[in-house]
Amino acid sequence: MPISLLPTRRTALVSAGVLALRPTFALAAESDADPHRVALLSDPHIGETTEAKDKDCNMADRLKAVVAEVAKLTPRPACAVVNGDLAHKTGTAAEYKLFAALVEPVRAAGVPLHLGLGNHDNFTRFAEGLEKLRPKDKPVEGKQVTVIEMPRANLFVLDSFDPKNAVGGILGATQLKWLAAELDARKTKPAVVCVHHPLQFDAPKSGRANGIADTTDFWPVLKDRAWVKAFVFGHTHTWRLAERDGIHLINLPAIGYPFAKTEVSGWVDAHFTEKGVKLEVRALDPKHAKHGDKAELTWRKG
């Protein structure tokens, strides 16, 4: 469930309505910000204390390091997206309190944060603990979705949280209808869709999915609209690029900890161009073989 944390120093806030719905989005608008740059983060998995560890990784220290790097970027990014699993286990009040404290330097630097919740989160406790930081606009009942309008692309942060599934996610018919309408209202720019969970075309009809349970309904909404260029997701704690039906699949690395010791952990620096996006991996370990890996993706035609 996307939540937008606006920066604590002055920025320009923009609102737009489509079909009487008002998605919430914000961009840094001061002269020292790059309007085409976005910091893509995922899976910080913050515990209840700064000492909490998983797989020998201190999650608070790792998020603190990433936040410090993003806050000091020159030029500053237009915004940052944290694509789910903010919490370590089940989204307790203590986990969210610590997460909010750790990301404060980014907000203080004037960089708006757009946050999505994953399967380790709990929306009710998040909303109760950080109510003042939630966007006022709620265009989809029971879901919180965000459209971030940028000069060269529009980012759509969706809600794949499934309260009935501790691992997988689901979008639902109402959200998909909203997404189709929002995409159709913004045909003139490339669209990039961000969801915590990955695609899962073989999701079981009964039982629990590991990815997006309604992928077969979701994917045509993207595939059949030529201006949709990329799908960004997390959840797997893996840095990987792929392509399906001409749409780039961008799997973000985790911040909190890797599932495999050899996997890179960190975040991705994205810079949108006229014809695509340039990506650079920023590893927590500067000695990691994939630190500084770069990729330039070209948008499909249409």
CATH of the domain at 155: 3.60.21.10
Mean pLDDT of 157-176: 91
Residue 122: the pLDDT is 83
Question: Is the previous residue joined to 258 through a cis bond, with omega within 30 degrees of 0?
Answer: no
The pLDDT value given to residue 19 = 29
What confidence score (pLDDT) does residue 30 get?
58
Residue 26 has pLDDT above 90, yes or no: no
Q: Model confidence at 6, in pLDDT bands (50, 70, 90)?
A: low
The kind and range of the H/E element at 57 are strand 57-58
Among residues 26, 36, 1, 276, which one has the least CA distance to residue 148?
Answer: 26
Give residue 175's domain range: 3-298
Average pLDDT of every residue of the chain: 89
Does the pTM exceed 0.75? yes
The pLDDT of 142-154, averaged and rounded, is 88
Mean pLDDT of all residues in 101-107: 95
The mean pLDDT of 57-74, rounded to a whole number, is: 98
Is residue 168 within 8 Å of residue 203, measured between CB atoms? yes
Of the ranges 89-93, 116-120, 161-165, 272-276, the best mean pLDDT one: 272-276
Which residue would you say has higher pLDDT here, 230 or 143? 230
DSSP code at position 103: H
3-state secondary structure 35-98: EEEEEEECCCCECCCCCCEECCEEHHHHHHHHHHHHHCCCCEEEEEEEECCCECCCCCHHHHHH
Number of domains in the chain: 1
Which of left, alpha, beta for 265 (phi over 0: left; psi -120 to 50: alpha)?
beta
CB 222 within 8 A of CB 213: no
Q: Is the pLDDT of residue 12 over 70?
A: no
| CA distance linking residue 122 with residue 119, whole number of Å | 8
Report the pLDDT averaged over residues 194-210. 91
Taking Cα atoms as reference points, which of 245, 250, 222 lies closest to residue 235? 250
Provide the pLDDT for residue 21.
32
